[in-house]
Amino acid sequence: MDTDVKRFFYKRAGYLLLIPGIVVLLFLVIYPLVRSIWVSLHTWYLAKPNAFPFVGLSNYSLLLFEDSVFRIALRNTLFIVAVAVPVEFFLGLLLATLLNRDDIKGRKIFRAILVMPLAIMPIVVGVLWKFMLHPRYGIVNYGLGFLKIEPIQWIADPRFALLSVMMVDIWEWTPFMVLVIYAGLISVPREPLEAARIDGASDWQLFIRITLPLIVPIVVVAILIRVMDIVKMFDIVYVLTRGGPGDATELLSLYNFRVGLNYFYMGKAAALSWIIVVLVVIFSQIFLRVVKMERG
């Protein structure tokens, strides 16, 4: 009888050990997700916490079809994704390729320097660049002065505010692309490259025909991570511009924060959160399908 009990316990022990993790997952992940869906279907104003009438999809339709600030935030977010991610990718690919060359000296020093922006907290990055972009005392305008260029109101002029946010994001997150792509490059097997070089292939042909296709899965993951990071970017833009001047740098995450914690419309904020999630999922699926089709 004791043997049967031990056998039963050993077979079920794995399931028993999973229970604490499942409980934590339910309370910290599943329940908040379900709760946020429920909240998004109600009008919940924190100034009147006891009144939350059911309104169905009204919060979603209000955001998608009537909220002009939401459209501006969506446009700005998509613009940063469309510009910053390709720039970060190509700069990261270039720098990673240079680091991967055998004739590069001081590779460890360059890697350490490249990692430094990633080691700085985004809030600190925002404060640092706010000083650097100061119209009178910032080092950026000081450098432009040597080129006889008049000082630019980087974060106060609507023409340059969004560009400034993108510039800071590119400075901080290009090293991430460099490290990820560099890790992919050093993992590429040498045998195909050596065989192709013996057959007379040039360095460019080796890179385009062999190296780049082999690191595509890593590049796809890096790009998707960056897209998701930009969609939820908050720290830098909050410190630099607070969404201004006007709505020039209003982003989805910042507007979500403003709706929920400044205006106290939690139902609308929850709906906006789920719209952001759906947009990220749709983009990810489209991007993965395109990459899959390109690879054949």
pLDDT in tens, 127-156: 999 999 988 889 999 998 888 888 899 999
| Paired strand residues for 45 | 265
- Predicted confidence at residue 276, as pLDDT, reads 93
According to DSSP, residue 48 is labeled S
Is pLDDT of 6 > 70?
no
Domain spans, the chain: 1-40, 58-294
3 state SS of 154: coil
Question: Is residue 245 reached through a cis peptide bond, with omega within 30 degrees of 0 on the bond before it?
Answer: yes
Q: Which residue has the tokens 């997150």?
A: 173
Average pLDDT (203-208) is 85
Q: Who contacts 173 (Cβ-Cβ below 8 Å, separation ≥6)?
A: 84, 88, 117, 118, 226, 229
Is pLDDT of 294 > 70?
no
CB 231 within 8 A of CB 77: yes
Q: What is the pTM of this model?
A: 0.88
One-letter identity of residue 87: V
% of residues, the chain, pLDDT over 70? 95
Q: Write b or e for each residue in 2-31: b if 16 or more Cβ atoms lie within 10 A of its Cβ, otherwise e.
A: eeeeeeeeeeeeeeeeeeeeeeeeeeeeee
Average pLDDT (64-73) is 94
The per-residue pLDDT for range 234-293, each reduced to its tens digit, is: 999 999 999 989 899 999 999 999 999 899 999 999 999 999 999 999 988 888 888 777
- Predicted confidence at residue 213, as pLDDT, reads 87
According to DSSP, residue 202 is labeled -
- Predicted confidence at residue 58, as pLDDT, reads 94
- Angle between the N-to-C axes of helices 107-119 and 68-99, in degrees from 0 to 180, rounded to the nearest 10: 160
- Predicted confidence at residue 154, as pLDDT, reads 93
The CATH T-level fold of domain 58-294 is MetI-like fold (1.10.3720)
Of 193, 212, 187, the residue nearest 93 (C-alpha): 212
According to DSSP, residue 42 is labeled B
Band of residue 108 on the pLDDT scale cut at 50, 70, 90 = confident
CB 270 within 8 A of CB 36: yes
Tokens of 149: 């260029």
Residue 210 burial (CB count, 10 A):
17
Residue 215 burial (CB count, 10 A):
20
